Amino acid sequence: MGGSPMVELATDLTVREVARAAETVLGRSVQVTPDTDIARDLAVDSLALMNIVMELEDRFDLSIPLDRLATVQTVGDLSDLINKLRVKA
Amino acid sequence: MGLLDKHLGYRAPLDGIRAAGVDPFAVRFDAVTSPTEGELDGKQVILLGTNNYLGLTFDPDCIEASAEAVRKWGTGTTGSRFANGTFAGHAELETSLARFYGRKNAMVFTTGYQANLGVISGLVGRGDHLILDADSHASIYDAARLSQAEVIRFRHNDPEDLYKRLRRMGDQAKGSLIVVEGIYSMMGDVAPLKEMVAVKKEMGAYLLVDEAHSMGVLGDKGRGLAEMCGVEEDVDYIVGTFSKSLGAVGGFLVSDEDNFDLLRIVSRPYMFTASLPPAVIASTLMALKRLEADSGLRVQLQANADQLWNGLRDMGFAVGPHASPITAVVMPDQAMAVTMWNALLQNGVYLNLAIPPATPDNRPLLRSSVSAAHTSAQIDTVLSVFEQLGQEFGLLKRPRRASA
């Protein structure tokens, strides 16, 4: 990722929103960093991940096509994807 | 080390379920003697989880047609229709399905799963947009992956959420394909199709309805939810199966699409698999005739569905929003679901244990499906077993209610 402070700020905010979306779907509190592995560290299965994405689509008023999730492993990957899609939108 | 090591996370939960009694994912029947009865470990059980909605698996006419076809045409086609040719029965079944649905074209697939795979991956591809109900069947999700289309999910049975997500897509909403199911296979709930059709029309999208569990079940003529809701003209594609109300195996698509024949050469799950054997085609053709001729089967099915759903609800079990041939009882947790499932089997009632992630909202379910072939007495037996076990395991708070 680039080193601009604006980009880092956006990433921080997005990571926080991913955590909030995960908490809504999972019904428990989670601690995340950009390096958190979604499946392994958060015990999120494929269905829960799709539900988290649905929450995020509403929070960011954005379409996140499921096929883009193929490359998402960490919370950082997911937040990068969202930030990329937001720029495009 | 082995290739399956990556799945070892399932080992402990699976062993735990098996340790509680019979393995629910590998039940072995020693005999199946009617659409509603089987034998298991020398014991008679009532079959209440087989999607045999019209009870046609033992219909004498269907059996006779099937037996005649196997003698006349042999046991199998030994290949795909693309390579080995179409047998007369395949063509006749396609003509019959098109006529039944009032559509120009029909296409038969080897399973219902492959029908979704073959139709959806043929209709949309890279760069297209596919809009799925969040609770879609696995075959629809797998089709989405095969298609490589961009996939957006909307909240289950929520037309407003569908509208919101399509609007969010901007220009890309036009020409996208929305996929919904007639009756959802876990809870037995139906899609609000009228409202969804309105959204589809406003946004210029296409609509596919999977009537797997609603064909032969809903609508005056048994064509399914689209017929019941009076919106058949606005449904572009209907997919269904022969493995439920028609009592065999296979799947189909019907539509008025002008370039329908192209689907046969672009649909890989159609092209690269063996076609259905003549015996299956013959029994399915006969079952379709029975479905069309005997609306009494649907009346009986609904009466049986009402009896089971009302009975369970009156006892205080958590069931779906309305009576349906599929009735799911929500269990408080997986351990209780497994315990109840085993106890029901011990007491002669076979139904389906459904656990997350195959179920909506992460809830374990005892999923049952009634048949027109169930007798009222069989359903009474099922209800009394449920009541007895519900009280034994503390699932029913209220005392027994006098039956009407």
**Which domains does chain B carry?**
10-47+295-392 (3.90.1150.10), 59-293 (3.40.640.10)
**Residues in chain B closer than 8 A to A64 (CB atoms):** 152
pTM of this prediction? 0.94
Q: Is the pLDDT of residue A51 over 80?
A: yes
**Residues in chain B closer than 8 A to A54 (CB atoms):** 134, 153, 155
| pLDDT score recorded for residue B294 | 96
The answer to whether residues A80 and A39 touch, using CB atoms and an 8 Å cutoff, is no
Across the interface, which of A48, A54, A63 has its CB nearest the CB of B169?
A63
What is the per-residue pLDDT across B171-203, written as a single tens digit (0 to 9) for each? 999 999 999 999 999 999 999 999 999 999 999
Dist. CA A13–CA A19, nearest whole Å: 10
Nearest CA in chain A to B358: A47
What is the per-residue pLDDT across B333-368, written as a single tens digit (0 to 9) for each? 999 999 999 999 999 999 999 988 778 777 899 999
Q: What is the mean pLDDT of the segment spanning B289-315?
A: 97
What is the per-residue pLDDT across B207-221, written as a single tens digit (0 to 9) for each? 999 999 999 999 999
Contact B165 A62 (CB under 8 A): no
Burial of B13 from C-beta contacts in 10 A (0-12 / 13-18 / 19+) = exposed
B404 confidence band (pLDDT: 50, 70, 90): very low
**From the centroid of its chain, how far is CA A63?**
13
Range of the domain at A32: 5-88
| pLDDT score recorded for residue B360 | 77
Across the interface, which of B148, B165, B357 has its CB nearest the CB of A47?
B357
Give per-residue burial for B235-267: e unless 16+ CB within 10 Å, then b.
bbbbbbbbbbbbbbbbbbbbbebeebeebeeeb
Contact B357 A62 (CB under 8 A): no
| pLDDT score recorded for residue B179 | 98
Contact B155 A48 (CB under 8 A): no
**Residues in chain A closer than 8 A to B152 (CB atoms):** 57, 63-66
Q: Is the pLDDT of residue B145 over 60?
A: yes
CA distance A64 to chain B (A): 7
A31 confidence band (pLDDT: 50, 70, 90): very high
**Residues in chain B closer than 8 A to A37 (CB atoms):** none
| pLDDT score recorded for residue A12 | 84
* B354 bridge partner residues: B365
Q: How many structural domains are present in chain A?
A: 1
Across the interface, which of A46, A51, A66 has its CB nearest the CB of B151?
A66
| pLDDT score recorded for residue A88 | 76
Q: What is the mean pLDDT of chain B?
A: 95
Tell me, what CATH number does A66's domain have? 1.10.1200.10
